[in-house]
Amino acid sequence: MQVLLLLAGLGFCWGQYNPNVQAGTTSIVHLFEWRWADIALECERYLAPYGFGGVQVSPPNENIIVTDPFRPWWERYQPISYKLCTRSGDENEFRDMVTRCNNVGVHIYVDAVVNHMCGSGGGSGTHSTCGSYFNAGERDFPAVPYSGWDFNDGKCQTASGEIENYGDMYQVRDCRLTGLLDLALEKDYVRSTVAEYMNRLIDIGVAGFRIDAAKHMWPGDIKAFLDQLKDLNTEWFSAGTRPFIYQEVIDLGGEPITGSDYFENGRVTEFKYGGQTGDGDPQVGWRKDGLLSVRMKMLRLMHWGALGSPVDRSPGFSFHSDLLGLQVKDRSYGSWFMLAHPYGFTRVMSSFLLTFSFELQDVNDWVGPPSESDGSTKAVTINEDTTCGNDWVCEHRWRQIRNMVVFRNVVDGEPFSNWWDNDSNQVAFGRGSKGFIVFNNDDWDMNVDLQTGLPAGTYCDVISGDKEDNRCTGSQVYVSEDGLANFQISSQAEDPFMAIHVNAKL
């Protein structure tokens, strides 16, 4: 209620809650660990033509180089300075990417890691992506500069200096998260240094920020640096536009810190999504063989939709589980549902292949992006069939996901409507008079007549194919004058789903 009042008070100005995507687009894609040069090309050749509104990029600032294990993806969450210099590229390449993506209407969202610097065991030297000297033991980061005064060592009350208990909100904010040197964001100097870094990115033309580890910062400290941020660059955004803010707060319940503690600062990423669709375990994904039927999972999601709180819905499962090839399909079903449902602002994950360790019978989930032996990141190559090469997975280029991103754009603003279910794992719903989606996650075939709410005509199912030259490359659906259509989906179908929308009508 508080939240709704707050939004009402803002009137037409959405402020930091507005995703700042170009009109007609409704989703962004996380191009995890991609090089800036490849993102610039992807904006021009793929994202703009298919209606993606933006890209979340990996942290652009200098980080520690970790060699054991060799160059894990997570080294990027250990800042050394705010120079724009990483495996993704240097400052010139970053500027070029932002300019070129903005010029085709695809906006850039930066992952801001400002709760901490590198781990306390990071050593000293110049093993950083721009070669800046640092000494973790001494708390010395001269390339910022930060020194011992700028860290929370004195404020943290645990014996180890680490977060030991998530039930104590003081240690969650003031102590080290897995050894990461915790910045004293109560200090004006630290706040203004962080704001200066973010303002440089705003000047270059970024549209917003993901705030990493927001749970580990006091909401008031975050507000203090956000209040110092400039409006967006008027070369691409209208005067007075505030940067879009979405904060990473993993709130699965049971802790004193909740996502809503952060709503005043901006949106909060929705981790319950993965949980609600995956039997409470955010790692499990979208399964019909868990404790809950797909129907129940969807009904739970609908309940949230009704809450209407300003949260960002993103697939809550961690990206690495996605790459495994494990239940990729389960996860992609979850994405389709997410993209069809009106709730939240959506972010699609795009990843790279991980190696499977037969010794551990597990996936090496630390593995960094496809790289050469010297650690440099490999380019994203594009195959003749439009998929990606060099071990880049490019889920956002899968027809089903790409077409559901389009579906979401087409049905934008239409109400959730015409819900149907068989009391088990077959469900369907529409979006006003613009789109309709049907899922068969049962072990038996589906053959039903459903009210779609759509105008009469022949539609292409955008899951099994596309509309090309006024014909369907996949299945067709016939909607009669009364809005009814017959859906037959085999439980053996490769993708036991169908989706139709008014832009894919013959």
Active site residue 248: yes
> How many C-beta neighbours within 10 Å does residue 193 have?
18
Q: Which is nearer to Ca ion, 216 or 267 (CB)?
A: 216
With left for phi above 0 and alpha for psi between -120 and 50, is residue 306 left, alpha or beta? Answer: alpha
- Smallest gap from Cβ 395 to ligand QV4, in A, equals 19
Residues near 228 by beta carbon (within 8 Å), at least 6 away in sequence: 191, 192, 195, 199
> How many C-beta neighbours within 10 Å does residue 3 have?
16
Q: Which is nearer to ligand QV4, 75 or 330 (CB)?
A: 75
Pick from ligand QV4, Ca ion, none: which does 409 bind, CB < 5 to 8 A by kind?
none
For 390, list phi and psi in degrees, rounded to 5.
55, 30
**β-pair partners for 174:** none
Pick from Ca ion, ligand QV4, none: which does 182 bind, CB < 5 to 8 A by kind?
Ca ion
Q: Does 185 bind ligand QV4 (CB under 6 A)?
A: no
Alpha carbons 167 and 256: distance in angstroms, whole number: 6
**Catalytic residue (choose from 150, 248, 322, 330):** 248
Indicate the SS3 state at residue 188: helix
The candidate with the shortest Cα–Cα distance to 229, out of 266, 264, 196, 273, is 196
CA 146 to chain CA mean position, Å? 30
Q: Name the DSSP class of 471.
A: E
For 33, list phi and psi in degrees, rounded to 5.
65, 10
Q: Which is nearer to ligand QV4, 294 or 311 (CB)?
A: 311
**β-pair partners for 345:** none
Binding residue (CB under 6 A) for ligand QV4 from 74, 133, 218, 420: 74
Q: Does 215 bind ligand QV4 (CB under 6 A)?
A: yes
Alpha carbons 315 and 285: distance in angstroms, whole number: 9
What is the per-residue binding string for ligand QV4 in 121-160, x denoting contact by CB under 6 A? x---------------------------------------
- Smallest gap from Cβ 256 to ligand QV4, in A, equals 13
Q: Which is nearer to Ca ion, 182 or 322 (CB)?
A: 182
Contact segment (CB under 5 A) with Ca ion among 178-186, 292-300, 323-331, 351-359 equals 178-186
**β-pair partners for 64:** 128
The two tokens of residue 319 are 């990206």
- Kindly give the pairing relationship between strand 467-468 and strand 471-472: antiparallel
Pick from Ca ion, ligand QV4, none: which does 120 bind, CB < 5 to 8 A by kind?
ligand QV4
**Catalytic residue (choose from 42, 62, 174, 212):** 212
Question: Is-contact 318 326, C-beta < 8 A?
Answer: no
Q: Does 77 bind ligand QV4 (CB under 6 A)?
A: yes
Pick from ligand QV4, Ca ion, none: which does 212 bind, CB < 5 to 8 A by kind?
ligand QV4
Binding residue (CB under 6 A) for ligand QV4 from 38, 150, 174, 212: 212
Question: Is-contact 430 452, C-beta < 8 A?
Answer: yes
The candidate with the shortest Cα–Cα distance to 213, out of 245, 250, 187, is 250
Q: Which is nearer to ligand QV4, 348 or 450 (CB)?
A: 348
Binding residue (CB under 6 A) for ligand QV4 from 47, 57, 84, 250: 250
**What's the N-to-C CA distance of the chain in angstroms?**
44
Please give the size of the binding site for ligand QV4, defined by CB under 6 A: 18
Pick from ligand QV4, Ca ion, none: which does 35 bind, CB < 5 to 8 A by kind?
none
Indicate the SS3 state at residue 234: coil
What is the per-residue binding string for ligand QV4 in 1-40, x denoting contact by CB under 6 A? ----------------------------------------
Contact segment (CB under 6 A) with ligand QV4 among 142-150, 177-185, 232-240, 353-361 equals 177-185
**β-pair partners for 146:** 141
Q: Does 119 bind ligand QV4 (CB under 6 A)?
A: yes
Active site residue 212: yes
The two tokens of residue 210 are 């993901």
Contact segment (CB under 6 A) with ligand QV4 among 75-83, 262-270, 338-346, 389-397 equals 75-83
Please report, as ranges, the residues that interact with Ca ion according to CB under 5 A.
Answer: 115, 182, 216
Please report, as ranges, the residues that interact with ligand QV4 according to CB under 6 A.
Answer: 74-75, 77-78, 113, 119-121, 162, 177-180, 212-213, 215, 248, 250
